[in-house]
Amino acid sequence: MTIEERLENMEREVGCVKRRNRWMLGAILVFLAGLVAAGVFKALVTPVQAQGAGVVKEVRAKAFVVEDEKGMPRALLVGGPDGPMLVLSDEKGHDPHFSNHLEG
């Protein structure tokens, strides 16, 4: 085998390796693009599904208390024996009926 024949064989092999590497790179890029597309699709679809899945049709409680950012009760909605009552208080909690309704 002459040096020229060996060189031709080596060039052919290098060409095959380059083609194989291009195909592998292309396959990897297609796979990564699929992962990105699936992630985007999931990010767009999941919030829409969550909105419909967690719908609460009814809430029942004896009282609802609304608190401000400091944790102070500012509003109270109570269903009592005399009917529903809404009690509001200022930022200092001033309302003579407010604390009575919270306890009872």
At 84 the pLDDT is 86
Q: What percent of the chain has pLDDT over 90?
A: 34
Q: What pLDDT, in 10s, does the model give residues 71-95?
A: 888 888 888 788 888 888 877 666 6
Q: Per-residue confidence at 5, pLDDT binned at 50, 70, 90?
A: very high
**Whether the predicted pLDDT of 49 surpasses 70:** no
At 104 the pLDDT is 45
What mean pLDDT comes out for the span 29-37? 93
SS (H, E, C) the chain: CCHHHHHHHHHHHHHHHHHHHHHHHHHHHHHHHHHHHHHHHHHHHHHHHHHHHCCCCCCCCCEEEEECCCCCEEEEEEEECCEEEEEECCCCCCCCCHHHHHHC
pTM score, two decimals?
A: 0.41
Locate the domains of the chain by residue range: 1-55, 63-103
